[in-house]
Amino acid sequence: MQSKNLIIGFILCAFPVLLAAQSSSTAQNPLHRQYRDGETLVYNMTGLNESWHYTIQAQGIVKKDASGAYVEEYRWANLVSDGQPTALSPGSDAFRQRLTLDPDQSLIAPDLSNADSKLVGPALDFMTFYADLWLVNKTGQLTHAGDHFYVKVGTPSSWANGSQVILGQSSIDFDLTLKSVNPSDQTAVLIVRHVPPEKSQLTLPAEWMQTPVADTPNN
């Protein structure tokens, strides 16, 4: 599979919970996340997955975990699948997705084993948005409009499920640009590109896989 550049634009809306100005660290980092216990957040996601059109809502609340760190805990609701309101499976009622933008905490992949299969795409895409912004906060390199930073990762990650996909891996780096910052309305635009590394770290088991299918290493 050839990796494509994925451009994700974060429009950080004008809510003080996202671009607060209470601390000096916030002033230095316009993407700083200032958490407050009990905050509620709602995201409306619209997706197109091949021929499947859907909208769904992530309803979250800020909590402290056992260690005292702030996390965002989300439940999923109000799925509209191909224009029809659709109930999620019973196991999905108990499914909660934990996310955080605290650079001192780690993101944890959600356990989707008991959730409706229709949640797999939205939940993992949602985590991707957070992972990109978490990485920006972790590096601390983007503070002014026009700042750019390249993060070499490349370590292969697997998306094989052991049945339909026996071997499935991707190897990516992160190309980060803070395109604009508007203090007056407390918004910022962040562009994150997922790009193939200059030298792939994948181990391709068959010789025919080595021949490039595009202008970057096979990925």
| Chain segment 129-157, per-residue pLDDT in tens | 999 999 999 999 999 999 999 999 888 88
Q: Last residue of a domain, which of 124, 158, 179?
A: 124
Question: What is the arithmetic mean of pLDDT over 173-188?
Answer: 93
| Separation of CA 94 from chain center | 22
pLDDT in the model for residue 49: 83
Rounded Cα distance between 76 and 139, Å, is 30
Q: Give domain status of residue 73, yes or no.
A: yes
| Chain segment 38-92, per-residue pLDDT in tens | 999 999 999 998 899 999 999 999 999 999 999 999 999 999 999 999 999 988 8
| Separation of CA 32 from chain center | 16
Q: Last residue of a domain, which of 124, 150, 182?
A: 124
Rounded Cα distance between 153 and 9, Å, is 21
Q: Do 47 and 100 lie in a common domain?
A: yes
Q: Do 200 and 152 lie in a common domain?
A: yes
Q: pLDDT above 70 covers what percent of the chain?
A: 86
Q: Last residue of a domain, which of 97, 124, 151?
A: 124
Q: Give domain status of residue 132, yes or no.
A: no
Q: Do 102 and 151 lie in a common domain?
A: no
Cα 165–Cα 171–Cα 177 angle in degrees, nearest 5: 130
| Chain segment 25-38, per-residue pLDDT in tens | 444 788 889 999 99
Q: Give domain status of residue 129, yes or no.
A: no
> Given a cut of 90, is residue 170 above it in pLDDT?
no
**Token match 């191909």: residue?**
82
Question: Of 188, 126, 203, 177, nearest to 5 (Cα)?
Answer: 177
Q: Give domain status of residue 153, yes or no.
A: yes
